[in-house]
Amino acid sequence: MPLIDSTAAGTGRVAIVTGASRGIGRAVAERLAADGLAVVVDYARDASAAEETVTAITAAGGTAIAVQADVADDDAVAALFGRAQEEYGGVDVVVNSAGRLALSPIADLDLNVLDAMHRTNIRGTFVVAREAARRLRAGGSFVGLSTSVVGTQLPSYGAYAASKGAVEAMTLILARELRGRDITVNTVAPGPTATDLFLDGKTDEQVETLAKAPPLERLGTPEDIARVVAFLVGPEGHWINGQILRANGGMV
């Protein structure tokens, strides 16, 4: 498995962040590293982008390695967690940021696109959550990523919202299944956030309309979402468990 090494870690807390080569995942990885966690940067294909994340973390004085793993591949995910165990001694935080987005009216959606999106968004979340449930240490946290479109229900987002609705459905169930282990499980559901995934294929007019939707009248940033995740996995957020947190600037 391709591996990009950096500075060796100490004995502090350890995080795995999937989809951490870009967008929200990268912002989360950098924020958790700034908070003192050693971070395993998971990526699916873009090794150079993952290396950029690791370089940014280490240049700021943090600790990180990058490991390639398709989140829907259970053997690869087990190896990802195994590498975190081998390198840093265990896992305390798992943030599953890896995801796919495809927009289409339901009547027109290519079912191959549907299957690929659901493989990453539903199966991938389940595989990562399952491994987290087996491996997280006491005091740890699992955070999934959904979307506020589950609530706003905009046209053309039907398949995507359905896949993220599945993520939300798992959240409280997993929190209850981990009773007695001092592990929290939450999901963050961003609103319109200025990432490549969000901006791809949208006109300037569409972006402007979505930016005006929240009462704060702007797009979110990956750093906005990273701050929410950092709170949930830190000591101040440890009483929050089994929740869906809609980080969207006030959208319905």
CB 216 within 8 A of CB 189: no
> How far is the C-alpha of 247 from the C-alpha of 245, rounded, in Å?
6
Both tokens assigned to 35: 């908070």
DSSP 162: H
Q: Are 201 and 156 in contact (CB under 8 A)?
A: no
Residue 79's identity, in one-letter code, is A
In the set 43, 88, 157, 160, the catalytic residue is 160
Contacts with 19 (C-beta within 8 Å, 6 or more apart), sequence order: 25, 42, 43, 44, 71, 96, 97, 98, 99
Active site residue 160: yes
- Residues annotated as catalytic are 160
